[in-house]
Amino acid sequence: MNVSKARAEMIALREAALSDLLATSDSQLRQEAIDDGEDVDKVAIQMQVVMRDAAAKVLRQRLAEAKARMRPGVDQRVIPSVRPNVETIKQMVQGLFQSDPSLSLAFRDGKTQTDADWISLYDDLVAMGTIQLDDHGS
């Protein structure tokens, strides 16, 4: 028997077992457990502990991920709290592009940029360290 056929049979068996389980009433399941010598109250408590542990593990993982996102990282943008006015930003950016030929910029649809585009570009250049905050007295 090849691996894919064995896997297909396992999936079919699992689906059949789950289908059978879902078709069985709670009282039938309880009676089957009692008939098998299980202490259903003990099993219920064990399941409750397992479910609480699993939920707590997921919550701890989410908290750790949230904390990691909150920590300042290398790639996190530094947005200046006080920016110069848009005209000053335009002059600074244009002067920077004229003085540094390695910098280039593409306009959306071949059109000019909006004020929001200039501010975003300024913030990006500050985050990259190309523009220093003290360059404009901030």
Please report, as a single letter, which amino acid is at residue 68: A
Please report, as a single letter, which amino acid is at residue 137: G
The domains of the chain are located at 1-38, 39-71, 86-136
Q: Give pTM, 2 decimals.
A: 0.41
Residue 83 has pLDDT above 60, yes or no: yes
37: tokens are 């010598």
Residue 17 has pLDDT above 90, yes or no: yes
pLDDT at 80: 63
Provide CB contacts within 8 A for 127, sequence distance 6+.
77, 78, 79
Helix (H) or strand (E) holding 111: none
